[in-house]
Amino acid sequence: MDINKDDLKKFIWLSPAIIAFLLALIPTLKYQWPLSWDVIYHVILADVYAQYGLVFTNPLINVPYGGSIGYPPLFHLLTAALGTLFKTDFFQITRFLQPFLVMFLVLSVTYVGRKFYGNIAGISAGFLVLSSLILGTRLIYPLPENLALIFLTISIYCYYYSITEKSFKYAILAGVLFIITLLTHQAVPIVLFLTITAFTLVELFLYRDIQVIKNYGAFLLLPVLLLAVGVTVLSTSYPDVFNNILNNGNMEINQIILSNSLNQPINMLSYGKLGILTGIFALIGAVFALKRRQKKDIFIFTWIILVFLLINANLFGVNILSFRLLTYILIPVSILGGFGLSQVYYKLKDYERFSSQNFRTTFLISMLALATFSGVIVMENPQIAYNNIENQYGTLQITPTDSMVDLANWFDKNGNKNKTILTNNPYVGTFITAKTSMPLSGDDFGEFTSSPSLKQYFKEIGIGYVVLDKRLSFQSTNGTFYRVKYDGAMYPLFYYSGDIHDNLDEILPNFATVAYENKDFIVLSLR
């Protein structure tokens, strides 16, 4: 069958997404677990929804009280549905979602870049995303945030189109996509709402177009109606559910605003993670855009400036996960960079030495190939699969290890799911829960005694197993054996001042026996 060149040109803009999919397959096939420790918690939520339906308290963690579910449910319901449909472990579902999420995110950036600045700019924008270090530190992760970012990108374009073409239909479509982000992630809809509000203000005050108020109203129409109907139905017919949602929402907001441990400010060097090629061509694109100052250019600048201000909100006393917002700014910066690369391609025609079509095409392909090569390096980096915690006691790997998997497999075969696990390493406990549905205690890992009162307390709250992570030890300076609590960013860790196996007699109460042990872990069964 003959390949029509015109047809090929129509679909060549899909090439960045296809290459993104192939690049993401490298770590997906290389490692047996999904990348990022965060996904373990999301697997638990998918398991909870599969077992208990749409609930607002997680019964598998923080037992006996349960943990409030602060995440919107769409990603977890999708994971649960796919796992149930294909009868596949939820870990493997999220693992194989990795290349698809990357592909569709790159596709959305390419599409929007193409609509803003043309075919070459759109293709270039997609490839510039691949050249970013963020590809390996955030975009590859199968997380709700990355799913929501796909809809954010398309929603912003739809609203821009609704303004330029005076189309309320596209403003309503942007609102529908906004609703989807609300059901997927907490932060993405906030950034989306602020960006669209900023576009509205620019159109209103810079271009003096009062009609944009109608576009803004069309954008908010369905979300506001849905909110009004939801609040009315829940508050009147399901007041307990309504109060639960309010309480969980308030807890989530308070945690984000008040928890200093979540705040990770970044410096200017951190923007290097956007990629050298992305930065160079974004600066070139900015120069050309400033010279023309068309509406599309002003809106792209508005988008970038808004996210930049959010990244640096901690300077104004607002606690925010700055490093994660680098992913958000990568999208408009890549689009601007794609425009910059396309302008270089076109402007070369003005110089006789470089004006030939062959030279300009070779230059463009070379830049795209270099971006792809950068993506290959990122995907081949073994650090992409490892998550560590560093403190004064050393470095602790929290990515699933062979001994961690063996531990979870033991619980899967031998564990009593009516009993709860208590552990000195909640990261390991969370993995066990995700892999086996074993409940995890929310109690602090205290000193054990053989007192009847402690035995009775454990019995009352259902603790049947204690998991000791033998890696959590250090050498005592005075020769005594004691326990130390380290408050980590997410969970506390409990270290012992000596080898845990050798000092097991000092740890064990008289109602506990060793049920299982491997290289890194000991399981105590409580009688």
Residues 376-427: tens digit of each pLDDT: 999 999 989 888 888 888 888 899 999 999 999 999 999 999 999 999 999 9
CB neighbour class for 439 (10 Å; exposed up to 12, middle 13-18, buried from 19): buried
464 phi and psi, to 5 degrees? -115, -15
Per-residue pLDDT at 135 exceeds 70: yes
Note the pLDDT of residue 259: 44
Residue-wise pLDDT tens digits, 282-303: 999 999 999 999 999 999 999 9
Q: What is the pLDDT of residue 378?
A: 94
Question: Which pTM does this prediction carry?
Answer: 0.92
Residues 6 or more apart whose CB falls under 8 angstroms from that of 389 comprise 395, 396, 398, 427, 488, 493
Supply the DSSP string of 308-373, one letter for each residue: HHHHTGGGGT----HHHHHHHHHHHHHHHHHHHHHHHHHHGGGSGGG-SHHHHHHHHHHHHHHHHH
- Cross-strand partners of 513: 525
Instruction: Report the distance separating Cα 34 and Cα 39, nearest Å.
Output: 7
Q: For residue 97, is pLDDT > 90?
A: yes
For residue 27, whether the previous peptide bond is cis, meaning omega lies within 30 degrees of 0, is no
CB atoms under 10 Å from CB of 400, counted, come to 24
Q: What is the pLDDT of residue 377?
A: 96
- Contact between 244 and 250 (Cβ < 8 Å): no
pLDDT at 260 > cutoff 50 = no
Pairwise CA distance, residues 315 & 520, whole Å: 42
| pLDDT tens for each residue of 447-482 | 666 667 878 888 888 899 999 999 999 888 887 888
Antiparallel, parallel or unpaired: β 492-496 and 483-487? antiparallel
Query: pLDDT value at position 342?
Result: 96
Average pLDDT of the chain to the nearest whole number:
89
